[in-house]
C-alpha cells in the first residue's frame, strides 16, 4: 500500500500536541488506524486524559526491528511565527510547523515505510513501532510504557530512533543528569541579618565552586567530555527578609563511562555540608559500537540512498532510547531521522520535503535488510 510520508507529516503537524499538556491521543489513534489498516496489531498505553502511547506490531518473531518516535511537541515560544505553526504549509521544498523537524517527519517516514512493507513482514522477522507521548518532558511516555506495560513491548533485535539528524546516523547520545542543590538557612528581618542565616549566600558560595569542578574522567572518543551547566538559582521570600532557603538546578550531560549515582555523590562531597544534592530526573547515555554488523548495515543503507558515507557521530541531545534501549537489554540503537537538528524547538520550524522522502527510503532499506537476514 503506497503511503505518502510527506502528506502524513502534514497530517501529524496539524494535531496540536503541545506538551504540556500533551493531548497526543488523537494523533496516536490516527496513526493506529493507518497501521491497523495495513495489518498491524495496535495497543494504546494511556497516561492520563487525552494522552496515549501507541505500540504497533506485525509478525510473530522474537527479534523484530523496532522504530520509535514521539508525537508531542514543545510550546511555540514568545517570538511570533511567520505562518500558522499547525497548518503544515509548504514553501521552498520545506514543510513548516511545530514538530516538522522534531519529530513528526521522522515518525511519518518510518510509518509510511512500515505500511508499504507490511505484506512481507507478517511472515518474516516482524516489525515493532513504539510511538510515544511526553518525550519533551523527560521521556515520560517511554518510561511509563516500561513501568506499566513492559509486556506489550516484547523483545526487539535493534532500535531506530527517528529524532532529527538530517538523515545522518548517530551511534549514541549523551545522558542527562538533573540535580537540585538546596541550601537552608534561618529567616530574620533584613534590618537584623545577624539574627538569621542567609541561604542565598550559602548557595551562591557553593555554586561558585563549580567553576573549578572536574569530572576526572577521560573524554569519550566521539561524545567528548561531560559538561555541567547551572540552569537556575533562586531563593528568598522578599527583599526585606533573610532567606531561609535557596535552590540551584544543575544540568549535567554524561558519557557512557559515568554512573549517575556516583556523579551525584561526587558533587555532594565536593560542594560540602552547607548544601544538599538531590535528583530531579535523569536519562542514561546510549552508545552502540559502530563496528558491529547491524550498525555497518545502517551505514550501508544510508550510503545507498544518499550517496554519502556517514562519519561516526553521536547526537547532542538525549532520546527515548534512554528508557527503551535498557528495557530491551541494551540492543543496538541508532538515532536517524530527516529533521534538521538545528531547527528543533525553533520558531518557523521546518523539515525539507526531500529529506522526508529520503528518510522513508532509508527506513524501507533497513526493513528490507532486516527481513532478508531473518
Q: What is the pLDDT of residue 374?
A: 66
Do residues 271 and 186 both lie within one domain?
yes
Least Cα distance to 260 among 211, 184, 328, 322 occurs for 322
Same domain assignment for residues 74 and 182: no
Same domain, 205 and 329: no
Same domain, 298 and 341: yes
Residue 34 is predicted with a pLDDT of: 98
Tell me how many domains the chain contains.
2
Do 29 and 40 lie in one domain? The reply is yes
Cβ 171 vs Cβ 290: under 8 Å: yes
Last residue of a domain, one of 225, 251, 283: 283
> In CATH, what number is assigned to the domain containing residue 265?
3.30.70.360
Distance (Å, whole) CA 223 – CA 10: 34
pLDDT (tens digit, 9 = 90+) per residue, 72-131?
999 999 999 999 999 999 999 999 999 999 999 999 999 999 999 999 888 888 999 999
- Specify whether the CB–CB gap between 356 and 330 falls below 8 A: no
Q: Mark which of 235, 250, 283 sits at the end of a domain.
A: 283
Which of 197, 221, 327 shows the shortest CA–CA distance to 275? 197
Domain check: are 345 and 297 in the same one? yes
Give the Cα separation of 369 and 160 in Å (integer).
Answer: 14
- Same structural domain for residues 226 and 114? no
Same domain, 30 and 58: yes
Q: Which domain holds residue 55?
A: 5-173+285-372
> Which parts of the chain sit beneath pLDDT 70?
1-2, 374
**CATH code at position 10:** 3.40.630.10
Residue pLDDT, tens place only, 163-193: 999 999 999 999 999 999 999 999 999 999 9
Furthest CA-CA distance within the chain: 79
Pairing between strand 158-161 and 333-335? Answer: parallel
| Secondary structure of residue 157 in the 3-state scheme | coil
Q: Examine the domain organization and report whether 271 and 260 are in the same domain.
A: yes
Amino acid at each position: 500500500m503506497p503511503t505518502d510520508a510527506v502528506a502524513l507529516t502534514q497530517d501529524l503537524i496539524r494535531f496540536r500536541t503541545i506538551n504540556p499538556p500533551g493531548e497526543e491521543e488523537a494523533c496516536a489513534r490516527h496513526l493506529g488506524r493507518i497501521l491497523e489498516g495495513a495489518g498491524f496489531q495496535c495497543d494504546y498505553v494511556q497516561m492520563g486524559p487525552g494522552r496515549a502511547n501507541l505500540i504497533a506490531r506485525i509478525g510473530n518473531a522474537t527479534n523484530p526491528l523496532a522504530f520509535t518516535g514521539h508525537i508531542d511537541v514543545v510550546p511555540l515560544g514568545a517570538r511570533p511565527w511567520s505562518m500558522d505553526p499547525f497548518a503544515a504549509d509548504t514553501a521552498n521544498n520545506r514543510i513548516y510547523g511545530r514538530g516538522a523537524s522534531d519529530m513528526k517527519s521522522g515518525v511519518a517516514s518510518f510509518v509510511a515505510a512500515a505500511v508499504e512493507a507490511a505484506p512481507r513482514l507478517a511472515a518474516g522477522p516482524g516489525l515493532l513501532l513504539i510511538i510515544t507521548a511526553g518525550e519533551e518532558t523527560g521521556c515520560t511516555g517511554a518510561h511509563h510504557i516500561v513501568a506499566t506495560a513492559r509486556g506489550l513491548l516484547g523483545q526487539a533485535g535493534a532500535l531506530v530512533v527517528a529524532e532529527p539528524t538530517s538523515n545522518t546516523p548517530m551511534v549514541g547520545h549523551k545522558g542527562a543528569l538533573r540535580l537540585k542543590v538546596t541550601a537552608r538557612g534561618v529567616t530574620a528581618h533584613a534590618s537584623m541579618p545577624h539574627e538569621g542565616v542567609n541561604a542565598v549566600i550559602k548557595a551562591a558560595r557553593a555554586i561558585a565552586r563549580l567553576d573549578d569542578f572536574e569530572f576526572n574522567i577521560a573524554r569519550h572518543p566521539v561524545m567528548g567530555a561531560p559538561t555541567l551547566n547551572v540552569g537556575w538559582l533562586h531563593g528568598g521570600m522578599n527583599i526585606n527578609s533573610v532567606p531561609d532557603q535557596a535552590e540551584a538546578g544543575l544540568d549535567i550531560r554524561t558519557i557512557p563511562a559515568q554512573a549517575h549515582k556516583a556523579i551525584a555523590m561526587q558533587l555532594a562531597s565536593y560542594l560540602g555540608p552547607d548544601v544538599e544534592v538531590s535528583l530531579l530526573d535523569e536519562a542514561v547515555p546510549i552508545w552502540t559500537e559502530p563496528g558491529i554488523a547491524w550498525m555497518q548495515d545502517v551505514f550501508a543503507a544510508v550510503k545507498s540512498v544518499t550517496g554519502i558515507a556517514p562519519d561516526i557521530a553521536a547526537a547532542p541531545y538525549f532520546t527515548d532510547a534512554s528508557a527503551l534501549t535498557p528495557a530491551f537489554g541494551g540492543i543496538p540503537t541508532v538515532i536517524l531521522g530527516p529533521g534538521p537538528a538545528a531547527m528543533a524547538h525553533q520558531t518557523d520550524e521546518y523539515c525539507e520535503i526531500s529529506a522526508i522522502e529520503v528518510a522513508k527510503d532509508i527506513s524501507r532499506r533497513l526493513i528490507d535488510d532486516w527481513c532478508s537476514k531473518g
